[in-house]
């Protein structure tokens, strides 16, 4: 296992909002291993993430994956472009999960309404709720 994860731009907020649901059992198990097992681990904030413009470590077992692409590629391209702009990241960038969390804390509360418009998970509210918790946790810090 490499110390660095490879992420599409929209997977940063997906990881923040992950609650154990996914497109298939294999996808959900992989997402759990990456998010819960690595990013949410005590040392997770220091984990490096390389931003990529194609299928990444989360996509690996996705049933919608087709090589380095997706069966919903145009939707994924729109999501990636919107998230890249909001988080000010681009393929080739490398940042630590803690730095990504800091960027997410700076996002407007209603960001999901704009940048996740095409996402089938948006209506579930997991991502918006997780962003609100992230911001609330920051306000409680001394």
- Residue 69 inside a domain? The answer is yes
Average pLDDT over residues 39-58: 95
Pairing relationship of beta strands 48-51 and 5-7 according to DSSP bridges:
parallel
pLDDT band at 71 (very low <50, low <70, confident <90, very high): confident
pLDDT at 140 over 80: no
Average pLDDT over residues 55-68: 90
> Is residue 89 a contact partner of residue 95, using CB atoms and an 8 Å limit?
yes
Mean pLDDT score across all residues of the chain: 91
H-helix segments, the chain: 11-17, 25-34, 73-87, 97-105, 111-115, 126-140
Q: Which carries the bigger pLDDT value, residue 25 or residue 120?
A: 25
Helix (H) or strand (E) holding 11: helix 11-17
Which structure tokens are listed for 19?
């609650």
Q: Is residue 70 part of a domain?
A: yes
pTM of the model as a whole? 0.90
pLDDT beyond 80 at 37:
yes
Q: Assess if residue 142 is contained within a domain.
A: no
Instruction: Name the domain count of the chain.
Output: 1
Please check the confidence at residue 1 and state whether its pLDDT lies above 70: no
The answer to the question of residue 141 being in a domain is no
pLDDT value, residue 139 = 67
Q: What is the mean predicted confidence (pLDDT) over 72-90?
A: 94
In terms of phi and psi (left: phi > 0; alpha: psi -120 to 50; beta: otherwise), the region of 96 is beta
d(CA 127, CA 1): 27
Structural domain boundaries enclosing 81: 5-136
Q: Mean pLDDT throughout 48-69? A: 91
């Amino acid at each position: 296992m490499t110390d660095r994860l490879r992420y599409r731009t929209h997977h940063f907020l997906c990881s923040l909002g992950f609650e154990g649901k996914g497109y298939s059992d294999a996808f959900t198990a992989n997402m759990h291993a990456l998010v819960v097992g690595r990013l949410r681990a005590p040392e997770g904030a220091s984990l490096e993430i390389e931003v990529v413009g194609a299928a990444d470590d989360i996509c690996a077992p996705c049933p919608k994956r087709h090589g380095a692409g997706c069966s919903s590629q145009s939707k994924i391209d729109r999501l990636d472009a919107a998230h890249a702009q909001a988080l000010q990241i681009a393929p080739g960038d490398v940042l630590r999960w803690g730095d990504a969390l800091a960027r997410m804390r700076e996002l407007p509360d209603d960001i999901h309404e704009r940048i996740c418009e095409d996402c089938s998970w948006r209506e579930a509210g997991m991502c918006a709720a997780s962003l609100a918790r992230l911001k609330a946790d920051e306000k409680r810090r001394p």
